[in-house]
Structure formats: C-alpha cells, structure tokens
C-alpha cells in the first residue's frame, strides 16, 4: 500500500494489520501484548482491527513489539540551507492579489 495515495483510515487500518502480523511473528497473544504494553485488550483489538486508537496506544504497542525505532525517522527535521532559513525568516504578512482581483 502506498500511504500517500491512501486515506487516513486506510493507513490506520494498514498499520493495525502490520502490528498484528508482527505480534503473531513473535508468537504473542493479544492478551500478552496488551499486558506488556500496558493497554487494555480492547484497545489492542481496535488497533489491529481498524487502527483507530490514540497515539499513546500505538506507541506503547509499537514499543512492545520492538518497532518504536522505525517511527523515529518520520519526525526528523531535515537540515536546510542558509538561503532557505533567510527566506523562511521573511514570513508573509498577507496573501498576494489574484490576477482576477486587479
């Protein structure tokens, strides 16, 4: 699945399925994984079924399954050039006029 072409609900569902696959590859029951993650069994079931849970539940389960390090690159800020920083510091105060408005 290409996440950039999917809806948020589809991405959440896919993440839930991937976590379920990982849990099963570790030969853990839902109850065991939920207990280790410190989440309710219902929360884990929701995560695996449709992915619609809190970020905290997602992070706890991912950590329990040894996947937390894979989330780190998602939130890394990329270095920018000096020119980009200077451009960013000159923030816009209003939108440009559209050609139709003139």
More confident residue, 78 or 61: 61
Residue 81 confidence (pLDDT): 79
* Centroid of chain to Cα 1: 15
Which string of b and e fits 18-44 if b means at least 16 CB within 10 Å? bbbebbeeeebebeebbeebebeeebb
- Which pair of tokens denotes residue 35? 């207990």
Q: What percent of the chain has pLDDT over 90?
A: 62
Confidence band (pLDDT; 50, 70, 90) for 55? very high
Residue ranges of domains in the chain: 3-89
Domain 3-89 is found in CATH 1.10.260.40: yes
Whole-structure pTM value: 0.71
């Amino acid at each position: 699945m290409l996440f950039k072409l999917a809806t948020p609900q589809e991405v959440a569902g896919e993440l839930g399925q991937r976590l379920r696959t990982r849990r099963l590859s570790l030969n853990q029951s839902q109850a065991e994984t939920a207990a280790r993650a410190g989440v309710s069994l219902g929360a884990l079931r929701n995560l695996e079924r449709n992915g619609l849970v809190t970020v905290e539940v997602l992070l706890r389960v991912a950590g329990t399954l040894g996947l937390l390090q894979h989330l780190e690159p998602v939130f890394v800020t990329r270095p920018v050039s000096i020119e980009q920083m200077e451009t960013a510091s000159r923030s816009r105060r209003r939108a440009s006029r559209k050609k139709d408005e003139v």
